[in-house]
Amino acid sequence: MKLRRALLIILTLILSLPLMTSCAPLTENNTIEEIAPVTFLSLSEGSEGKIKISTLAPPLTHDSKKLVTKEVHMFEEGRKYLSLNYYREYKLGQLRILFISESLARKGIAPLITSLLLDPETTQRLYLVVVHGNFDEYIIANTEKQKDLEYFLYRMFKHYENKQQGTMTVINLHRFLQKYHNPLSDPVLPVFEATPDDFKYEGTGLFQKDKMAGKLSLRQDHIFQLLDNVNYIKLLPLPEFSILLGQVRSKVDLHWNSGDSIYAVNVNLYARLVEYQGDRYLGDTNNLMELQSEIENFLKERTTELLQQMQKWDVDPLSMGYVALHPFSKPISGEEWQKTKRSLNYQVKVHLTLNPLPAIPSYQYHR
């Protein structure tokens, strides 16, 4: 009886299926011959408050390429109008790099990030880059000189992201959003200078949430890389002492108690002497220790200046508020940390340990 009843219900459902109505989903045209996967987009300020959006066409082919540019009010609107100038529809599924002009970055990039997140095609591994200068002019001048220029740029960022050599800051959309939504931290992005002849790394841009507040120079960037989660620099030039340090590793200890005005930063550096062009004979232990002490004092001053500069810009890319989080104690709120960090006094100590030196012939330093 139960079996007959179950069969009757199943038969009723099968017969009623043709009568059921629903809205047919809109189908996307993803035929390979009809789409153009975009690998990079360049965004800058246009006229009358518009956004200037540019990319190369055709992307990812060996055909002759040209820069396609449109000025639009909305980010997603740009892809629509770019597609009107090409026989294929632009798709963001292969978008790997987003270049943002410095002027746009200083005004705020939250609306652009939101537009990207609303598009299901966008990957979280998308690299974000701030550009000082005219990136479009660089692309126009170098498209013929550098084969597959967009892929070359992507591989450069991919290389430095994987190697973690402290050479440059590399940030993708996922990492940017992690710090953007963190009440005890602020995001950072790499800054590049673009000219018709070159595209070179300038330093790290520090953000106050979605607005770029300031830019670190290359010298400041070296110290920032050691203080940040990288804690490693392949090469650290110190021209003030005619010395080049290599394989520099750092161990950073932060100490601060909630309510205290002193924030202690202890930096222990371990490095190898790669090159020295000074006049001291480093085979003498006293000379070596004297030089080492001078470098420690120099780095202490530069580290203090960097922390004070970040304090002036009211940013915390190093997540320094986390040291106030202790077990069984009330966690510090983001609002409380924002007020507290502005009045902190940084107490910095730097200790440098150089790897044992090989035997150095003294005649090189006797004149």
pLDDT tens-digit map of 216-269: 999 999 999 999 866 788 899 999 999 999 999 999 999 887 778 899 999 999
β-pairing, 345-354 vs 51-57, is unpaired
- The more confidently predicted of residues 343 and 259 is 343
Lowest-confidence region among 73-82, 140-149, 152-161, 276-285:
73-82
pLDDT at residue 367 in the model: 46
pLDDT band at 33 (very low <50, low <70, confident <90, very high): very low
- The tokens describing 339, both together, are 């007020």
Count Cβ atoms below 10 Å from residue 308 Cβ, excluding itself: 13
Place of tokens 């069969």: 7
Nearest to 268 by CA among 352, 356, 355, 166: 352
- The tokens describing 116, both together, are 């990207």
Average pLDDT, the chain: 82
Largest separation between any pair of C-alpha atoms in the chain: 111
Angle in degrees, CA 297, 299, 303, rounded to 5: 120
pLDDT at residue 62 in the model: 62
pLDDT at residue 19 in the model: 52
Residue-wise pLDDT for 119-175, tens only, equals 887 888 899 999 999 999 999 999 888 888 888 898 899 988 877 777 889 999 999
The DSSP code for 172 is: B
pLDDT at residue 1 in the model: 56
Q: Which CATH class is domain 235-367?
A: alpha beta
pLDDT band at 18 (very low <50, low <70, confident <90, very high): low
Distances (CA, A) of 252 to 183, 225, 229, 230, 337: 22, 11, 10, 11, 20
φ and ψ of 53, to 5 deg: -120, 130
β-pairing, 345-354 vs 262-276, is parallel
Torsion from C-alpha of 303, 131, 106, 100, nearest 10 degrees = -130
Cα–Cα distance measured from residue 223 to residue 171, given in angstroms and rounded to the nearest whole number: 18
Residue-wise pLDDT for 98-131, tens only, equals 999 999 999 999 998 888 888 887 888 899 999 9
Asked if 65 and 56 touch (Cβ cutoff 8 Å), the reply is: yes
Using the predicted structure, report yes or no on whether residue 64 has a pLDDT greater than 50: yes
Distances (CA, A) of 10 to 5, 15, 21: 9, 9, 19
Using the predicted structure, report yes or no on whether residue 17 has a pLDDT greater than 80: no
Cα–Cα distance measured from residue 271 to residue 338, given in angstroms and rounded to the nearest whole number: 35
pLDDT at residue 116 in the model: 84
Which amino acid is present at 283?
G
Looking at residues 71-92, what average pLDDT do you find? Answer: 69
Place of tokens 């650290």: 236
pLDDT at residue 61 in the model: 58
* 227: three-class secondary structure by DSSP: helix
Cα–Cα distance measured from residue 280 to residue 290, given in angstroms and rounded to the nearest whole number: 10
pLDDT at residue 47 in the model: 87
Looking at residues 309-326, what average pLDDT do you find? Answer: 86
Using the predicted structure, report yes or no on whether residue 87 has a pLDDT greater than 70: no
Cα–Cα distance measured from residue 322 to residue 328, given in angstroms and rounded to the nearest whole number: 15
Handedness of CA 109, 114, 119, 123 (dihedral sign): positive
Asked if 141 and 197 touch (Cβ cutoff 8 Å), the reply is: yes
pLDDT at residue 281 in the model: 86
- The tokens describing 190, both together, are 């790499």
Q: In the chain, what are the domain boundaries? A: 32-215, 235-367
Count Cβ atoms below 10 Å from residue 98 Cβ, excluding itself: 21
pLDDT at residue 341 in the model: 87
- The more confidently predicted of residues 33 and 102 is 102
pLDDT band at 13 (very low <50, low <70, confident <90, very high): low
pLDDT at residue 31 in the model: 46
Looking at residues 290-305, what average pLDDT do you find? Answer: 96
